[in-house]
Amino acid sequence: MSGREEEKMSIKAWVQSWYNPELRKEGDNRDYFVDNLKAFLMVLVIFGHVVTSLRGVKEMSALYYFVYTFHMPLFVFTSGYMAKGIMKDGKFRVDRYFSILWMYFFFRVANYLLGRQLGHSSKFKLLEVSGAPWYLLAMSAWYLMVPLLLSMKPLVGVIVATMAGLLMGYVEEAEDFLAISRIAVYLPFFAIGLYVSKERLDNFLNKRLRIPALLLLAGACGYFVFVGNPLKPIKKIVFGGTPYSATLGELEPYGFLIRGGLYLFAVLIGVACMFLIPRRKMWFSYVGKYSMAVYILHIFVRDAMKYTGVFTEIKKLPGRYMFLAIPACAVAALVLGNPLFGKLINWISNPFRSLKRKKA
């Protein structure tokens, strides 16, 4: 075997090692697949929240809608997958539930006060949720549904959740009020994540489908960016927060089928992404571990840049510079997910946890 062939083999083995969850230190029980998946998704979340403040570029706009077809469904799936911990010994963990609800109030109030401090005047509407904090409120609602979902057979639970999501589009009153629309629309993905065990997920990810997954992901992304956004006539439906009548217009009667198609597309792209996510500890895994810090702090940074005119200055640059937002979002995730910020946000989410541990 030539030296070049040996080098190729070593690179191949190195890449394959990314997907070997057994390569971890003894006693290390973290699920690095979940950490790495959340790190990837946090970059997409930041991108989605930042790109709307930049200069409009056709390709960036198409990429934005492509990302929104799957990144929130996949994030909700991950939340459902991790939500098994809300039940302990058959009992609902009230402390964990109130921790996530408290973080919603903290996020809303802190974000409002930051805006006021920077000269952005707006009314504080606690029950109307349209910005980033909606996810924390939704999490508190999904947590309450866990006992009910676990009492059902998985297939029944997924069908019920899917029907709720499909039918919610016909409820015109459920828009931003308590994020009810999004809670229902994304519920199927939470339910799927809740029902999937670690063993079944590991066995599924062991299938040799990474190359087809890469081709599917690249093909779908390339179509959106270089051919055009195929969802342009119905693009607002991907956000899940508005009724069919306001989103689809004359296509409202077919909203049930259209959202069903988007569900299938989200599943296909989400599964493709999961096949490409490393399953062992990587240099960026800490971002997923401290994803709560990234989720909250990036909104503060974005709003500070918006209210102080930074984005206004950036938009004066030629359109090609807008593409720098992609690596910038990755850097932001790496910075905001560092352990210092992560531990601070974890403490804020439950400041009495350390006291309980000391007493114990």
42-64 per-position pLDDT tens digit: 999 999 999 989 988 889 999 99
Whether residue 300 is predicted with pLDDT greater than 90 in this model: the reply is yes
Lowest mean pLDDT among 20-24, 258-262, 293-297: 20-24
CA 195, 178, 184, 32 dihedral sign is negative
Predicted TM-score (pTM) of the model is 0.92
3-state secondary structure 111-157: HHHHHHHCCCCCCCCCCECCCCCHHHHHHHHHHHHHHHHHCCCHHHH
Burial of 113 (0-12, 13-18, 19+ CB in 10 A): exposed
- pLDDT above 90 for 11: no
- What pLDDT sits at residue 26? 57
Indicate whether 9 pLDDT > 70. Answer: no
Residue 8 has pLDDT above 80, yes or no: no
Measure the CA–CA gap between 251 and 313, rounded to whole angstroms: 39
Q: What pLDDT is attached to residue 29?
A: 80
Query: Among 1-10, 22-31, 136-145, whose mean pLDDT is lowest?
Result: 1-10
Measure the CA–CA gap between 68 and 223, rounded to whole angstroms. 15
CA dihedral angle for residue 303, residue 233, residue 181, residue 92, rounded to 10 degrees: -80
Q: What is the DSSP letter of 232?
A: G
The dihedral built from the CA positions of residue 126, 180, 85 and 213, taken in this order, carries a sign that is negative
**CA 171 to each of CA 9, 191, 253, 255: distance values in angstroms, whole numbers, following the listed order:** 57, 21, 13, 12
Is pLDDT of 195 > 90?
Answer: yes
Query: Above pLDDT 90, what percent of the chain?
Result: 67
pLDDT band at 25 (very low <50, low <70, confident <90, very high): low
90: left (phi over 0), alpha (psi -120 to 50) or beta: left
Q: How confident is the model at residue 178 (pLDDT cuts 50, 70, 90)?
A: confident
pLDDT greater than 80 at residue 21:
no
Average pLDDT over residues 226-238: 89
Least confident of 118-122, 195-199, 232-236, 343-347: 118-122
Q: Is the pLDDT of residue 142 over 90?
A: yes
pLDDT tens digits, residue range 125-139?
Answer: 766 777 778 999 999
Q: pLDDT category, 111, cuts 50, 70, 90? A: confident
> What pLDDT does residue 175 have?
67
Burial zone of 181 (CB within 10 Å; 0-12 exposed, 13-18 middle, 19+ buried): buried
Quote the pLDDT of residue 1.
Answer: 46
| Residue 360: pLDDT over 60 | no
Mean pLDDT, residues 218-231: 94
Using pLDDT thresholds of 50, 70 and 90, give the confidence band for residue 27: low
When mean pLDDT is compared across 6-20, 143-157, 280-294, the lowest value belongs to 6-20
pLDDT above 90: residue 264: yes
Burial class (CB in 10 A: 0-12, 13-18, 19+), 21: middle
* pLDDT the model gives residue 88: 86
- The tokens describing 172, both together, are 């015109």
Q: How far apart are CA 304 and CA 117, in angstroms?
A: 10
Give the Å distances, CA to CA, from 136 to 120, 129, 131, 271. 23, 10, 11, 24
More confident residue, 85 or 29: 85
Q: What tokens were used for 183?
A: 């809670």
Region of 318 (left: φ > 0; alpha: ψ -120 to 50; beta: rest) is: beta
Confidence of residue 297 (pLDDT cuts 50, 70, 90): very high
Give me 330's structure tokens: 């990755």
What pLDDT sits at residue 217?
A: 97
Q: Give the single-character DSSP code of 355.
A: H
Helices 94-117, 134-150: crossing angle, 10 deg rounding: 170
Helix axes 325-336, 32-50, angle to 10 degrees: 130
The CB-side HSE value for 216 (13 A sphere, CA atoms) comes to 17
